[in-house]
Amino acid sequence: MVSSPWVGLPTDSTTLGHHRFAVAGEKYVRALCLAAGATPVLLPSLQPPLPAEPWLDRLDGLLLTGAVSNIEPHHYGGAPSWAGNLHDPARDATALSLLQAALARDLPVLAICRGFQELNVALGGTLHQRVHAVTGLMDHREDPDAPVEQQYAPAHPVRLVEGGWLSDWAGAAAVTVNSVHGQGIDRLAAGLRVEARADDGLVEAARSDAHAFVLGVQWHPEWRVTDTPFHHRIFQAFGDACRRYSCKADRS
């Protein structure tokens, strides 16, 4: 069994100074190394996207990260975007293309925050553009003026579905998670099964029954992953799935 599977991370396309850069959060890279036992491979996001298949032929898993940008609503038939909403068309194009190809070959996928929303959209689901503006839903955003340690501190409980992966890994019916998102799941895609909900009913995690390992979570388990056994277990399970995939993959 391969000791360190290769996991691809679609990058964000952002301007630094006068030029555009492909970037990925170091906390995701560290979580893959420390908790999943995987080798991170950063995948540049371009528009139009580079072909997915040559990448996936060499990868054992796909990690879809969070980001400061939100998915453009035309990808899920949503209303026009609100003024000031940050978008990254290159990330949208790359991540959604990669997801379709990855799901077709049953590549392990772990999708976090924006990544969970990308997974839902790729499978035909829709999003709330502003969760805090939806009647009955609470404000899931962080305080932008707070220190980062406070922004990523436990913020609210989520109820874990009995018999699900997350309840098994947590050994509990509920956990308290951080909350750093403005968008959220509206209509869950038909191919996904709920794994966790917030007390306001918002879907906080889901997995696919049609794939060996496809899991999306709305919170950020990568944050100081080694400090939280439950979050460490999520990445460990993902890493194990990537190792299993590598063993059966034919790369001849």
Active-site annotation, residues: 113, 220, 222
Amino acid found at 129: Q
Tell me the C-alpha to C-alpha distance, in Å, between residue 124 and each of 57, 105, 154, 182: 25, 18, 30, 20
Q: What is the DSSP string of 53-75?
A: HHHHTT-SEEEEPP-SSB--GGG
- 8 SS3 class: strand
Evaluate whether 235 touches 32 at the Cβ level (below 8 Å): yes
* Cα–Cα distance for residue pair 12/95, rounded to 1 Å: 10
Cα–Cα–Cα angle for 162, 62, 139, nearest 5°? 55
* Cα–Cα distance for residue pair 59/105, rounded to 1 Å: 11
Q: What is the DSSP string of 112-169?
A: ETHHHHHHHHHTT--EES-GGGSTT-------TTS-HHHHTS--EEEEEPTTSHHHHH
